Each structure stands twice: as structure tokens, then as C-alpha cells.
């Protein structure tokens, strides 16, 4: 088929019922985007909100491979509008790939655009630096480091445990770079707190609450690596739950509280609810039984796929089915070397998983797989 442009246009022609904005967004998420120096931020001293690396790298190269984009961060997200495809406003999370046929650059008038195979295909908007990012905590840490916001400021993303206790080739999920991402930021000398202090989180939230006068932030997500034993003397439900409890006590009703954690036993899930969490994301990762074992060896070993699914269903008794929203990693179904060989097989498997959960009133969501280069699936 030749160029990426030809591929994308063929997809839009073959699937006219799919919004063209979705086609471009998915292609950008799966393949990444390059940035001209004219489109990079000035980090926390500039006018553009920089990429925070809030949990994973979501990049197609390590920091040393990103060139100037590692020194002057790209924006957290971009907005696509207009162009020859007349795109409606579409927000896309930034995943950097210096080799991508997509490139964000400024034209001769300084106006940012998205270019595909060298042709401008849309205008590009970038998120303005929020006022709360211009203030630091009393210990000098930045709000972006402690409580970054994503999704155009709607969601405060609190990765309070930056690493995962599923560790090493026999336990780590094969598509996940949370542990490497922590290592690379520490190696680069970037501030990247392993375990965030509750008081630091509360101070950062106080700054956000004070300066977010438009109340653009309406929810927070508590998350981090899996805790298979204990962390600071607490199990997973109590560790993440203590942050929710503190937030809800200090800011009652200010934000919708969400937690992304393992599929835990029902009594543990009840503790999340008791601490003030409103939405629970116990991610099921990939539906197929064989692929779950191959891609999630730690979760298979400690919990097991069938028990994982039972716990997700049980959690609906605590939160209500509509407030249980498990995630899967869209695209790993066909990842080499273990994935399905045909699109039809992959779709059938994913559909089976969706039908299973939705038949119980639970509606999953998905994150588009980014083949991060330090992960086993990314290397494959």
C-alpha cells in the first residue's frame, strides 16, 4: 500500500461508519508522533503544559533516544482540528516516536500543524500551562511531579507508587514499562518520587484547588504498581485507600475519586468504598486465557485469570456495576510472538470479553497499546 497516508485513507474508505477523527487518533496512539523543535515546550517555565510521564513512558524510544524531546518535553496532549479532512476537535495523548511519519511542527507563520508524510493534515492546539503548575510545594517539589493533570486538565493522576512489585521477566506484565520508566527518569536526574507522601499529595491538591478557579479538574485517579505483599506495612487496599481517605477528609466532594488497582477480594474492595472511592478500575488486561498467562505472568501466578474475573464481578456488588470499569490493553491481542495471527481472531476474542462483562452490566474501557521498547512485547 506504500505510504501511511494511503493506509489511513484506505481505512477511512473501508470503514466509513467510523469517524475519521477516531482513525487518526488510533493511528497516532499506536504509532506515535515526532516533534519538530518548534513544537516542543519550555518545560515548566514555558507557556505550554509539558508531558508529565504520569505512570508509563508511552513513548517509542527511551529518553536518550528522543533527542531534544528529552530535554524540552513535548506537550501532554495535542488537539487536532480542521485541515483537508475537516477534523472535528480531537484530543490525543502524546506518545513520542522520532521515526513516525506524523510530525508536529510550526509553519512559517509559527502556527502549529500535524504533518503526515510531509503534508499538513490538521491544525494543532496545545494545552496552556495551568496556573497551578507554576507553584511549588513547600519542599520545592513541583505540582507536575506530585499531582499531574491529564485529559486537558480534567483528571488529576496520582501515581503514588511509581514501581510494581511484580518484578522481573517472570512476573512483570509483558507490555508494561512502569519499572523501567521509573529507572530511566532517575538515571536522567529527573525528579520522580518512588512513593509519594500523603501530605505532599494533599499540599499539591491544595495548590490545584486554589488556582484551578474554573474547576476544570473534576476527578482524581489513585494508582501505581501492584502490591503483592506489603508496602509501608500496608496491603494494597489500605495503601491506596489511605490516600483516598485523606483526600476525602480534606476536600469532601471536590473531586470524583477513582482507583486503578488489582482485582482484589470483595472485602478489600469494600475498604476502597469505605475510604471514599467512587469508581473502581480492576483491569483485566487481555481476554484470551492463553494470552493472559503469557502476558501477565505475575497476575496469573498470584491470582489467576478465572479468580481475577470473579473478583471483578464481585466488585459490582460493592460499587454498583456502572462504577466498575475494567481496562484492557487494545492491540496486544496480535502482538508477536504469542498473539493471534489474524484480525478476525483478535476481534472475536476481544468481543467475547466485552460481552462477558457487559452481560453483567460492567462496561470495560481500553488503552491503546504502545509498544514501549524496553518491554518484551515492545522488543518483539
| pLDDT value at residue 96 | 98
Nearest to 202 by CA among 191, 214, 210, 213: 210
Domain end among 125, 146, 162: 125
For residue 354, the domain's CATH number is: 3.20.20.70
> For helices 266-275 and 236-250, what crossing angle results, to 10°?
20
Residue span of the structural domain in which 356 resides: 131-379
253: Cβ–Cβ under 8 A, 6 or more apart, which residues?
none
The reply to whether 121 and 234 lie within a common domain is: no
Same domain, 24 and 166: no
**Which of 302, 63, 300 lies closest to 174 in space, CA to CA?**
300
C-alpha 182/C-alpha 32 separation (Å) is 21
**Are 342 and 358 part of one and the same domain?**
yes
DSSP 14-66: H-TTS-HHHHHHHHHHHH-BEE-GGG---GGGSSBPBP---SS---SS-GGGS
Burial class (CB in 10 A: 0-12, 13-18, 19+), 146: buried
Query: What is the number of structural domains in the chain?
Result: 2
Three cell numbers written together for 91: 484530543
Query: Is the backbone of residue 53 left (phi > 0), alpha (psi -120 to 50) or beta?
Result: left
Q: Are 95 and 204 contained in the same domain? A: no
Based on the domain organization, do 96 and 142 belong to the same domain? Answer: no
* Residues 205, 292 within the same domain: yes
DSSP 130: P
Domain end call among 125, 141, 167: 125
Q: Is residue 287 located within the same domain as residue 178?
A: yes
pLDDT in tens, 57-76: 999 999 999 999 999 999 99
Q: Would you tell me how many other CB atoms lie within 10 Å of the CB of residue 195?
A: 12
C-alpha atoms less than 13 angstroms from C-alpha of 123 in its C-beta half-sphere: 9
Give burial (CB, 10 Å; 0-12/13-18/19+) of 356: middle
Same domain, 285 and 142: yes
Measured in residues, the chain has a length of: 380
End-to-end CA distance of the chain: 23
pLDDT of residue 1: 60
Low-confidence ranges of the chain (pLDDT < 50): none
C-alpha cell at 57: 513512558
Where is the domain boundary, 67, 92, 125? 125
Amino acid at each position: 500500500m506504500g505510504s501511511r497516508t494511503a493506509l489511513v485513507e484506505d481505512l477511512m474508505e473501508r470503514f466509513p461508519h467510523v469517524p475519521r477523527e477516531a482513525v487518526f487518533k488510533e493511528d497516532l496512539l499506536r504509532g506515535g508522533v515526532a516533534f519538530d523543535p518548534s513544537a516542543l515546550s519550555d518545560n515548566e517555565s514555558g507557556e505550554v503544559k509539558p508531558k508529565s510521564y504520569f505512570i508509563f513512558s508511552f513513548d517509542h524510544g527511551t529518553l536518550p533516544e528522543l533527542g531534544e524531546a528529552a530535554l524540552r518535553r513535548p506537550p501532554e496532549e495535542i488537539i487536532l482540528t480542521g485541515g483537508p479532512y475537516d477534523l472535528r476537535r480531537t484530543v490525543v495523548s502524546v506518545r513520542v516516536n522520532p521515526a513516525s511519519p506524523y510530525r508536529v511542527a510550526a509553519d512559517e507563520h509559527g502556527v502549529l500543524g500535524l504533518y503526515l508524510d510531509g503534508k499538513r493534515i490538521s491544525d494543532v492546539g496545545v494545552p496552556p500551562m495551568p496556573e497551578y503548575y507554576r507553584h511549588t510545594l513547600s519542599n520545592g517539589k513541583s505540582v507536575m511531579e506530585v499531582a499531574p493533570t491529564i485529559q486537558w486538565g480534567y483528571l488529576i493522576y496520582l501515581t503514588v507508587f511509581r514501581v510494581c512489585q511484580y518484578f522481573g521477566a517472570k512476573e512483570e506484565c509483558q507490555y508494561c514499562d512502569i519499572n523501567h520508566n521509573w529507572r530511566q527518569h532517575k538515571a536522567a536526574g529527573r525528579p520522580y518520587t518512588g512513593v509519594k507522601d500523603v501530605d505532599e499529595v494533599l499540599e499539591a491538591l491544595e495548590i490545584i484547588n486554589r488556582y484551578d478557579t474554573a474547576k476544570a479538574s473534576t476527578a482524581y485517579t489513585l494508582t501505581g504498581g501492584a502490591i503483592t505483599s506489603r508496602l509501608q506495612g500496608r496491603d494494597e487496599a489500605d495503601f491506596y485507600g489511605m490516600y483516598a481517605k485523606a483526600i476525602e477528609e480534606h476536600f469532601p466532594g471536590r473531586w470524583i475519586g477513582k482507583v486503578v488497582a488489582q482485582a482484589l477480594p470483595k472485602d478489600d474492595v469494600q475498604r476502597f468504598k469505605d475510604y471514599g472511592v467512587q469508581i473502581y478500575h480492576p483491569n483485566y488486561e487481555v481476554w484470551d486465557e492463553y494470552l493472559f498467562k503469557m502476558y501477565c505472568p505475575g497476575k496469573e501466578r498470584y491470582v489467576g485469570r478465572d479468580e481475577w474475573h470473579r473478583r471483578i464481578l464481585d466488585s459490582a456488588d460493592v460499587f454498583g456495576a456502572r462504577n466498575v470499569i475494567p481496562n484492557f490493553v487494545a492491540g496486544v491481542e496480535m502482538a508477536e510472538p504469542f498473539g493471534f495471527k489474524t484480525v478476525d481472531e483478535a476481534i472475536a476474542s476481544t468481543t467475547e470479553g466485552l460481552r462477558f462483562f457487559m452481560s453483567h452490566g460492567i462496561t470495560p474501557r481500553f488503552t491503546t497499546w504502545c509498544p514501549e521498547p524496553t518491554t518484551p512485547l515492545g522488543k518483539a
